Amino acid sequence: MRLEDVADELNVNLPQVRSLVRSGDLPAIKIGGRGVWRVERSELEAYIQRQYTVARESIEAGSIENESGD
């Protein structure tokens, strides 16, 4: 998947996806001389599952906030 496709899938902006790749949280590979980045669907699904685990642990620890920060 192109990084733009990943951004669409996660409903985030492209710089956020680039940050995930740069940090190593979302594994990606660089293809060809023009430096086109790609993420395998399986890596994206694994990332999503890890985030569900983190969310579940936060909920169990009682440290969840709503989206407005209240």
What's the pLDDT at 70? 44
Nearest-CA neighbor of 43 among 31, 25, 57, 55?
25
Rounded to 5 degrees, what are φ and ψ at 69?
Answer: 85, 10
pTM score of the predicted model: 0.81
Taking the C-alpha atoms of residue 26 and residue 46, their distance in angstroms, rounded to an integer, is 9
Residue 39's nearest CA partner among 26, 48, 52 is 26
Which phi and psi (to 5°) does residue 63 adopt?
-115, 50
pLDDT tens digit sequence for 43-67: 999 999 999 999 999 999 988 765 5
The CA radius of gyration of the chain, in Å to the nearest whole number, is 14
